[in-house]
Structure 1
Amino acid sequence: MVGPMHDHGHNSSREADRKRLAWALAITVAVLVAEVVGVAVTGSLVLFADAGHLATDSLGLVAALVAAMLARRPPTQRRTFGLGRAEILAAALNALILLAVAGFVVVEGVSRLTDPPPVPGLPLLVLGAVGLAGNLVALRVLGGGDRRNLNLRGALLEVVGDALGSVAVLAAAAVVLTTGWLAADPIASLLIAALIAPRAVMLLREAAHVLLEGTPRELDAVDVHAELQAVPGVTDVHDLHLWTITSGSHAVSAHLVVDGVRGVQCGEHSVLDAAATALHRRFGLAHSTLQVEHDEHADHEHTC
């Protein structure tokens, strides 16, 4: 028995998330342009790190937006699950880009610690404030989206990193202005890298878990097995599989064993309906593929 892949509410949520991604991209690009000009004027590494972070985030947001648009396409005979996994691939790409930026900033920051170049504090302070304002607006836009959407969460993490980067720019500018200590610039850039890397690793692990068909983290296979086992007429459950199609859309398949007498009494369709209803009610699993077997067939299956 196969349940519906998507419902109207799910599609409406995804449409809203796509609009949020588009707005976040526009805001991020506007801040990026300002910071690129600032890097040319000031030569600041922390501003370069933040601008580089913004540039990769802009690419990441473009990838996220394209992936969200691809996910709208209906299933085909060639791609029976549709292109929902494009969002997961985009999340993995974003994570890899963030790790690359963090690595570059660490190398450049360490090299500048011993001989930091001069940077003008006031332009740095102004650009940091502009960047933070833009980041906060983007956070507000993305923060109202579906937190189950891994693609949107990846974009949200990137903007959080941008906001923290802007705070680091402001801190470095304040130190340079008040004390003249130029090492504050590379130190702040290293702090940005330290904030980016763990979040990127976490996002990459989650994307890999989905791509490797891992059990969704919010589901427990033991609990799902027990729920199916409790369906009237079911004597055993085997070949249980749980996986994520795309963010917020999980699937289950299983073989349900019924004894010959109770199978006839309950009716196979009744068993299937009861099992699918139980999965949807307790776990929110709308996409279920269930097969009913009589106990004689199950014994034969395990011996062959």
Structure 2
Amino acid sequence: MNLPEGYSSWDMTSHTLGMAIEHDFWATSAQTLPVLALAQIIEARAIMSRWSRNGRFSVLQRIMMVTWAVPIIAYGYLIPSSLLALRDGAVPDYYAAIITNVVSVGVGVLILSPMLNILAYANSGAIAHSVVFLYNLGRRVRFLGLSLWFWRWRGKLREVILLMQEKVTRLEVERAKVDDQGFSSAPIASELDAHLERWSDRLSDMLALWGELESNSAKFQARKQRARDRRPADVRAFEVGFRRSLTDSEPTLFAFPGDTSRRRRWARRRPSNFGRLRGSQLAGRRDRRPGGRRIR
């Protein structure tokens, strides 16, 4: 397709898009964007009202707040553009594509935000296991390195001790042979005694080092076992804290017909109802048994 001189393909696309955009599109956008913004704000307030205020597990909360803020800011920027397009049409044509994408993203956020909160609450156990595993990953790698170090030096030390024991045994055998030869081998015996004493001291030092290494290895294994035994409690504590950070009470979507969560919520509100009762009504309630029968 031959374009006029000075007329690029982008200008041609923009012109074609502008021809395709009708006046009803801007009118619909000016009506739809405020409704979506209001729905997004109401949904965000409804979900945030169930969040805990302790601020300990706020990663998911920050992600959801950013997810809400982006469409709301886009709505605030595009609503005046739609109104300006209705007035005189002085709006770039690519705003139509931006509005279409923002509306699609906004509807998706409206649908996925409660589902993300519910899925995070329902899968809090798996999330807790993953977080605790990642938190302990450095410790596990460090424990693995120390285990390899223990096994490596334990094997080398065992080889050295075996060689030194063989050396001491050989010196003792030679010393016994010298004793059998009589008085003429006294210088050799004294020299062998010096060697035997030196090698015996070295063997004693190596055995002491072996005992210290075994003691440290036992302490290390006990520490690993304590960390392994503490892991379920850490997972449970993180799961409980994560659930409490998402909601102060049980979500209503989890209240099945046999669930007593609504009764518990009513029980928490009961003192305010008692405060509104008259004295005669309150006395009539006090003289009744828990089953409803009057006390005589």
Higher strand share: 1
Q: Which has the larger radius of gyration?
A: 2
TM-score range, shorter chain: 0.3 to 0.5
Q: TM-score, normalised by structure 2?
A: 0.32
Q: TM-score, normalised by structure 1?
A: 0.32
Higher helix share: 2
